[in-house]
Amino acid sequence: MERCYRCLTPFPFHHRRNRSSPLTLNLVQIVDSALVSATERSGHHLVCHPGCTQCCHGVFPISQQDAARLREGLHILEQQDSQRAARIRARGDDSLSRIAPLFPGDPANGILNEEYGDSSLFADENSIGDSEPCPVLDPATGTCDLYAHRPIVCRTFGPPMRTAEGDLATCELCYITATTEEIAACELDASIPAQESASNDAFNATHNTSGETIVAFALRG
């Protein structure tokens, strides 16, 4: 049986392989392959597991390619489990009702302003945005209902990854006892951000899209 690269447990429905278009799937395959490598090198230092949902709380920007992948996953789920899909849509609507007054962008299309990072929804700790659960998170199981179609940032969170400033960032729950050298040895492929950017540019050019959005707006489409 196939196993999840991140939590190493057998794949239930929400862990099945992505069946997206070639343009999207290529990036997903690259990232998932890099995650397998980082997970193997991390060993016990990477403690991500089903039910650990800290990284599933907080509003965060996603690309139009991420948004399209989520909608594709939701459409597939509607054909296979309409009740679960309906719960996702309901959670998305509830989330929008809470954060819409603070949304730093166009509420008609869900596209964020370029200065969204300075808004209270993203910048303030302990704000609504900081504690808002992702609509795709199933609160009963603590797992992602669209796991195979999740955004790239969700796929790369956890293992050490190089920031724009050159530092190695990790989930604060992982690598607690690891040395600096051990953390560096587990680094996720440093070329991924550039590859993601190029893939997103190609997607936007092909589909005449632009800008970034958030998960709740992506699910509304």
Q: Which of 149, 138, 146, 154 is nearest to 14 (CA)?
A: 146
Domain contains 77: yes
Work out the mean pLDDT of the chain and round it to a whole number.
87
Return the bridge partners of 161, or none: 169
Domain contains 51: no
Number of domains in the chain: 1
Residue 29 in contact with residue 174, Cβ under 8 Å?
no
Domain contains 32: yes
Q: Rounded to 5 degrees, what angle do the CA atoms 220, 116, 100 make? A: 40
Q: Which domain holds residue 153?
A: 26-46+57-220
Domain contains 100: yes
Q: What is the DSSP letter of 19?
A: -
Counting residues of the chain whose pLDDT is more than 70, the rounded percentage is: 87
Domain contains 127: yes
How much is the pTM?
0.85
Domain contains 16: no
In the structure encoding, which two tokens stand for residue 219, read together? Answer: 């699910």
Q: Which residues of 202-212 are buried (b: 16+ CB within 10 A; e: fewer)?
A: ebeeeeebebb
d(CA 215, CA 219) in angstroms, rounded, equals 6
Residue 146 in contact with residue 219, Cβ under 8 Å?
no
Domain contains 210: yes
**pLDDT reported for residue 12:** 37
Residue with tokens 């589909």: 207
Domain contains 128: yes
Q: Which residues does 66 contact at the CB level (< 8 Å), separation at least 6?
A: 151, 152, 153, 218
Q: Which residues does 55 contact at the CB level (< 8 Å), separation at least 6?
A: 154, 157, 158, 171
pLDDT in tens, 141-198: 999 999 999 999 999 999 999 888 888 999 999 999 999 999 999 999 999 999 999 9
Consecutive 10-residue averages of pLDDT for the chain (221 residues): 38 39 72 94 93 93 97 97 97 95 94 93 77 95 96 94 87 94 95 94 95 96 69
**pLDDT reported for residue 123:** 80
Residue 192: other Cβ atoms inside 10 A: 19
Residue 20: other Cβ atoms inside 10 A: 20
d(CA 48, CA 121) in angstroms, rounded, equals 26
